Amino acid sequence: MKKLLSVLLTGVLLVGLFLTGCSKSLTRYSAQFLNLFDTLTQIIAYMENKEEFSEYAALIYNEMEEYHQLYDIYHDYPGLNNIRTINENAGIQPVEVDQRIIDLLLFARQAYEQTGGKINIAMGPVLEIWHDYREEGIQNPDSAQLPPMDLLREAAKHTDIHKIIIDEKSSTVFLEDPEMHLDVGGVAKGYAIEQVSQTAIEQGFTSGLISGGGNVRIIGSKNIQGEKWNVGIQNPGGDRGQSNLYVVYLTDMSLVTSGNYERYYTVDGKEYHHIIDPETLYPAEYYEALTVITPDSAMADALSTALYNMPIGEGLALVENRVDTEALWIFPDGSQQFSSGFEAMLQR
């Protein structure tokens, strides 16, 4: 419990979620913390007492903190080799790492293959350029600029995912290209939430909800009656937490939303968001928002980014060919597209 210093036990509803109805013998508890994966993380469950909930909240928080440090690309931690350590040793030497890093990278490689390269953790050199220009543009909006295309193309020469050498026997990772660095932002949070959820389930957490930013992992049903959890999908045009476009009813599923309204900056009156298409090297402009629902939070996270970078025909075909996966696309003009089974999730 010592690590759970920033957790707040509260009865306030989770932002973006509608959670109603419960067995009379159970109480709704919520914990939230702000220092992991650069987003608000929250846990919700209906339990018999606060002590029981606090134990699970501490378990989840402590596990999430470990994943946060392992997958961090910005900070060092004493005695820990993380993603930043791998990047710092690009072209120099292999780095011995925790198995949880290797597992993430293997998953990311799988996601890359399954999406035709539309999610690529080796895009770090390109994403770093966009990050720097975006931060400068936010700080000084009057002089905001776009990255030069020749700079982006040069960086893109160092994004070959096959130059990530993983030696599972020695537990090492080596970046062959000295100009390469990893950016796991498109997969790390969802992967961590899924792994932490599995740990919590093994410890008896059979009914609850873990949310990290736009990633929601639902465990079991809401109560002993088997009632589904109801999760609001934000209206991209509405105020955050005030307007939901739809409410879906789910059990043992993950929901991830990607949108152009979270991280962006403005250049000459046009907004440029943070989801960069690996082919064009520019922010994808197909959609305003996109929601993926599938059992595994890691895959939901990866798919939400990959689908955002695909035209609707390609994305819809990918979703329809996956078992237990549904999606909602919202276009810039406000029109929408459901996958074939999405509407069924709008029913209790």
Q: Which domains does the chain have, with CATH numbers?
A: 4-71+186-346 (3.10.520.10), 85-175 (1.10.3980.10)
What is the rounded CA–CA span in Å between residue 224 and residue 236? Answer: 34
**Cβ neighbours of residue 18 closer than 8 Å, sequence gap 6 or more:** 230, 231, 232, 244, 247
Q: How confident is the model at residue 18 (pLDDT cuts 50, 70, 90)?
A: very low
DSSP for 146-175, written as a single string: PPPHHHHHHHHTT--GGGEEEETTTTEEEE
pLDDT of residue 242: 53
3-state DSSP call for residue 144? coil
Residue 23 has pLDDT above 50, yes or no: no
Q: Specify the range with the lowest mean pLDDT, choosing from 34-43, 132-141, 201-210, 237-246.
A: 237-246
Closest CA relative to residue 9, chosen from 39, 49, 37, 36 = 49
Q: How confident is the model at residue 239 (pLDDT cuts 50, 70, 90)?
A: low
3-state DSSP call for residue 272? strand
Q: How confident is the model at residue 4 (pLDDT cuts 50, 70, 90)?
A: very low
pLDDT of residue 235: 80
What is the rounded CA–CA span in Å between residue 156 and residue 134? Answer: 18
The answer to whether 163 touches 177, Cβ cutoff 8 Å, is yes
What's the mean pLDDT when you consider all of the chain? 90
Q: How confident is the model at residue 19 (pLDDT cuts 50, 70, 90)?
A: very low
Q: How confident is the model at residue 9 (pLDDT cuts 50, 70, 90)?
A: very low
pLDDT tens readout for residues 56-67? 999 999 999 999
What is the rounded CA–CA span in Å between residue 202 and residue 265? Answer: 42
Determine if the pTM surpasses 0.85.
yes
Residue 241 has pLDDT above 80, yes or no: no
Backbone phi and psi for residue 185, each to the nearest 5 degrees, phi listed first: -60, -25
pLDDT tens readout for residues 142-193? 999 999 999 999 999 999 999 999 999 999 999 999 999 999 999 999 999 9
> Six-digit token pair at 78?
């004493």
What is the rounded CA–CA span in Å between residue 88 and residue 323? Answer: 39
25 CB-side CA count, 13 A: 3
What is the rounded CA–CA span in Å between residue 69 and residue 77? Answer: 7
